[in-house]
A and B are shown apart, each in its own frame.
Chain A
Amino acid sequence: MTQAATVDTTLRALLADVLGLGEARAAALTDDSGLFGALPEFDSMAVATVLTEMEDRLGILIDDDEIDGEIFETYGNLLAFSLRKVTD
């Protein structure tokens, strides 16, 4: 698996765990799928949990000031941010 594919798989599994999406819904997420504000489960606590799990599972460190609302707008944005972090 390419690194991009690995990050994508890890991120989907993580969202499934935190949001209780189930495998089918997690697999069906597209770049345009809305997250924060679109999924009722995605509240501020879920945002925090996702960030900490991203650090753990992707082996990255996320700085406070790197986080803005846009990252969590869509799955595509979150994936792009994650890919940028792992290749940094």
Chain B
Amino acid sequence: MPLPTPEHILRIAPDDAPRATVLFVPPLFEEANRTRRTLVLAMRALARHGLAAVLPDLPGQNESLVPLDQTDLHRWQEALAEVSATLDGPVIIASLRGGALIDHLASAAAWWRLAPIGGASLLRTLMRARVAADREAGLTSSLDSLQAEAATAPLLLAGNLLSPAMMGQLGSAAVEPVAPLRTVTLGSGANAIAGTPLWLRAEPGEDGAMAEAIAADIAAWSQTCGIS
């Protein structure tokens, strides 16, 4: 059997040797596209803080050659663990939204999570999009009928062909404990980042100030954790 093609990894690094590498775990599915631009701006900002940053493609996402219906959350967790193991120096894992559901198998010196969300909520939104699209097309479906369909065959949800394994794992996935961990939300206050929930947005946008805030918060957290 041929070896699987390695996934693309976007890497942005400072000119000098980095203090550590931030491994970004993007939100899942369409939310990843909506946030990618701002995430990459945050990666550039991290370089100015002396930190390298990598953003890997998950198998089945972006430029990956793996068909999406042949992957699931567990495979993504393993893929991230493999990426983490190849990185030199201390690794800080920074996950957004559903990314926080797959970031715990990888080894790291510290974790950082922004607006983590449970898998059930993500799945519900994807299934509702399918029901709404079906209704527009004059078809009748429901969350229950889709769930039943998904038990035995891959199901197309908002452009994503999801395997029964993926559906099952998403439905019950919760963020797992890791340490040391800093969790931030959007908003104001000590444990929040000011910005816009770009992952919700119907049309892609960017938030440069939020990218700077993300980078600054991760850089400060890395120092709190004694990574220098």
Contacts and interface: CB of A to CB of B under 8 A. Distances in A.
Interface of A: 17-20, 41-49, 51-53, 56, 64-65, 67, 69
B160 to A, nearest CB: 11
Contacts of B128: 47-48, 51-52
Contacts of B205: 20
A47 B212 CA distance: 31
Contacts of B125: 48-49, 51-52
Nearest to A43: B202
Interface residues of B, number: 25
A85 to B, nearest CB: 16
B132 A20 contact: no
Given A17-B196, A48-B131, A64-B142, 4 more contacts: A44-B130, A45-B129, A47-B128, A48-B132
A11 to B, nearest CB: 14
Nearest to B135: A69
18 contacts: A18-B200, A18-B201, A20-B202, A20-B203, A44-B133, A44-B136, A45-B30, A45-B202, A46-B202, A48-B125, A48-B126, A48-B128, A49-B200, A49-B202, A51-B125, A52-B121, A52-B124, A64-B131
